[in-house]
Amino acid sequence: MNQYDLIVVGSGPAGRRAAIQAAKLEKKVLVIEKGSRVGGVSVHTGTIPSKTLRETALNLTGWRERGFYGRSYRVKQEINAEDLRRRLLITLDHEVEVLEHQFARNRVQHLRGKATFIDANTLEVVKNDGEVLKVTGTSILLAIGTRPYRPPHVPFDHEAILDSDEILEIKELPRSMIVIGAGVIGIEYATIFSALDTQVTVVEPRDSMLEFIDKEIVEDFAYQLRDRNMKLIFGQKAEKIEREDNGKCKVTLSNGRILHAETVLFAAGRVGATDTLNLTACGLEADNRGRLKVDPETFQTSVPNIYAAGDVIGFPSLASTSMEQGRIAARHAVGAPASEPPQFFPYGIYAVPEISTCGLTEEEVTERGIPYECGIAHFRETSRGHIMGLDTGLLKMIFSMKTRRLLGVHIVGEGATELVHIGQAVLNLKGTVEYFVENTFNYPTLAEAYKIAGLDAWNRMGELKKEA
């Protein structure tokens, strides 16, 4: 009864996609989830909640309409934490219902409890009601995700000094906030709260933010943040974080500067949730951030029948890529043919404004010594952008001068995470600048920016010389 073809530990994007894929291949599958409901970090504290919070903030503040009606425009004058939480709970309930239905429809069994290794094929599961089970799997996939990094010198108190999970449970919207860490999570929350009219200061020890994003896009993004009075402090470490007698927070930086705010969000990284698995029993070892090393093509660990996928294996830590990793890992684990992971995938940062990118950055193209040309379009140049009241937004494409092929597409602005898929398709299908110049795009749309950027590059590259 307790013997399975595949046991999946964790029911986030990687885990659920792997389980359903294996079940569709008519394998006996078990999913173990320690949380009270299925869905993992993505559904309960990560992707879905933060994106729901973002959408709610933009809707209630009237952010998208301010280009026409001015910065004082509001859909709801007094916005409170309960307004945000109400929509969040509706969304989470829907996500869990969909996932439970998918498991039931595909006959995926699932247990709620904590799993630990006994050996490379056997797990002990302590169920939420206290019952202890032993389950055995021909293959095991670890899709356990991550949790916020909580260093001992930060006095988290669940009220004013919070991590990125706790920020979703705030009881009141703060008037001021210091965000420690300018990575994806820190920047997303910083810009969301800024849109809610919280005075936000971001502190980052590195000299810049989002270093894997094209530098020109980051510069445009940073300009927009500073333009709305967000403070960005780079090259300084938060040496000391403390709560003062008046309830406010005090942050002392490495250069001696002192910052004050009602709330501190510490968002400087996450760690793999591997410490409770008893990895030594199965012959695995995690790194200092709890992450597991895998073969990038099969997602197999150093123990042949154990696989890992999703955030626990590190970059890029995206729900979208985690799903594909889980699917490929599951196929490999049950002996089904599996394709290689795609060379280019889109990266979406759901800040305000959005950033999305696919392919090579200008810095990477330069490093590789590829002769190139760039095409740029500003959203305000499109009729749709003007209709929407956009005065910001930028789409940038990079083309090879030799092959004329698209090498990278980078977008900052409204709808960036949707728009990027046009560039992604052309990139993976090895399309050239001529695609954008010669094709027709719906008018008026923001997607028309592809045509403008394509023409911008084509004007400098010249016409394709056809052989006689």
Mean pLDDT over 347-361 rounds to 96
Residue type, 133: L
Q: Which residue has the higher pLDDT, 443 or 1?
A: 443
pTM: 0.91
* Torsion angle, alpha carbons of 150, 155, 158, 164, to 10: -30
What is residue 199's predicted lDDT score, i.e. its pLDDT? 97
Mean pLDDT over 8-31 rounds to 95
Q: Read off the pLDDT band of 10 (50, 70, 90).
A: very high
Residue 201 has which token pair?
């200061």
User: Taken in order 441, 445, 447, 449, is the CA torsion positive or negative?
Assistant: positive
Is 1 a residue whose pLDDT tops 70?
no
Q: Which residue has the higher pLDDT, 293 or 81?
A: 293
pLDDT tens for 435-450 read: 999 999 999 999 999 9
The helix/strand/coil state of 282 is helix
What is residue 285's predicted lDDT score, i.e. its pLDDT? 94
* 59-63, 113-117, 167-171 — most confident range: 113-117
What is residue 21's predicted lDDT score, i.e. its pLDDT? 97
Is 129 a residue whose pLDDT tops 90?
no
What is residue 422's predicted lDDT score, i.e. its pLDDT? 97
Mean pLDDT over 272-277 rounds to 93
pLDDT, averaged across the chain: 92
What is residue 74's predicted lDDT score, i.e. its pLDDT? 78
- Whole-angstrom Cα distance, residue 442 to residue 446? 9
Geometric angle at alpha carbon 398, from 392 and 401, rounded to 5°: 145
- Taking a C-beta distance cutoff of 8 angstroms, is the pair 187, 202 a contact? yes
Q: Read off the pLDDT band of 228 (50, 70, 90).
A: very high
The proportion of the chain whose per-residue pLDDT surpasses 70, expressed as a percent, equals: 98
What is residue 42's predicted lDDT score, i.e. its pLDDT? 60
What is residue 44's predicted lDDT score, i.e. its pLDDT? 64
Mean pLDDT over 380-399 rounds to 94
What is residue 91's predicted lDDT score, i.e. its pLDDT? 86
pLDDT tens for 37-73 read: 777 766 666 678 888 899 999 988 888 887 777 777 8
- Whole-angstrom Cα distance, residue 394 to residue 220? 8
Is 468 a residue whose pLDDT tops 60?
no
- Burial of 241 per CB tally in 10 Å (0-12, 13-18, 19+): buried
Say which residue the tokens 């895998």 belong to: 294
Q: Which residue has the higher pLDDT, 308 or 88?
A: 308
Mean pLDDT over 126-144 rounds to 94
What is residue 139's predicted lDDT score, i.e. its pLDDT? 97
What is residue 278's predicted lDDT score, i.e. its pLDDT? 95
What is residue 461's predicted lDDT score, i.e. its pLDDT? 94
pLDDT tens for 285-313 read: 999 999 999 999 999 999 999 999 999 99
What is residue 118's predicted lDDT score, i.e. its pLDDT? 96
